[in-house]
A = this chain, B = another copy of it.
Amino acid sequence: MFFKKPKIEIDAREALLQTAARLFAKHGFEAVSTRMLSTEAGVNIAMIAYYFGSKEKLFEAIIDERLPKSREMLIGFFESNLEPWEKLSAIINHYVERIFNDNSFTKLIYRELSLQQRPAHSERILNGILGNWEIMSKIIEEGQDKGIFRKDIDVIMTLNSIFGTISQMVNTPCISAKVLQKVNENEIFDDDIKKRLKSHLNQMVKSHLLINP
């Protein structure tokens, strides 16, 4: 044989992780049965316990795998030599890009925080998010120290608005879809809307933060 058989199939563990992230985001943790999950992933139901211990620990594995990536991005911009506003703008654009590419994980963690049913999950997620907010806060404070940003703004509430705007698009795209008269909810996540969201967020935060917009 000249060519090895290409290994297209991913292993059971990875299949479970990916399928679970997608299904949990779509239907919610409780609504996804272990049977539905294992069938969709194309593996035996016992593989959940074998690789993760339980359905709940599978959820935690998803969180632990994806949360750290967000932090790396933020630190990258934070430590760059961009001006404060450029840093903030770059981060906003990066977040928008990400959720338009794949919003399942964001949907997942926001709903988990909203429910607060599983303290272990919430704790993990909260610690991750807290670190991100601290970095964002520092950037805004940096801009204030440099005399570029207004000092009479509420930093935490401003972050609430930035992430609130984004999560509104992630968690209830059906509203925007209906208002924009799209037939299908997924039509929301196209290049046109992405551009509009970026432009709007930048414009709004800019006029809110900058002393000389």
Contacts and interface: CB of A to CB of B under 8 A. Distances in A.
Interface string A165-200: 111110110111011100001000000000011011
Interface residues of A, number: 50
Contacts of A115: 27-28, 31, 111
A165 B175 contact: no
B203 A153 contact: yes
A109 to B, nearest CB: 9
Contact of A130 (B114, B129, B161, B178): B178
A115 B31 CA distance: 10
Nearest to A132: B175
Contact of A156 (B27, B156, B161, B176): B176
Instruction: Count this chain's copies in the assembly.
Output: 2
Interface string A98-111: 00000000010011
A65 interface: no
B156 A126 contact: no
Among A27, A107, A154, A158, chain B packs the most CB atoms within 10 A around the CB of: A154
A128 to B, nearest CB: 11
Interface of A: 27-28, 30-31, 107, 110-111, 113-117, 122, 126, 129-130, 133, 153-154, 156-161, 163-169, 171-172, 174-176, 178-180, 185, 196-197, 199-201, 203-204, 207-208
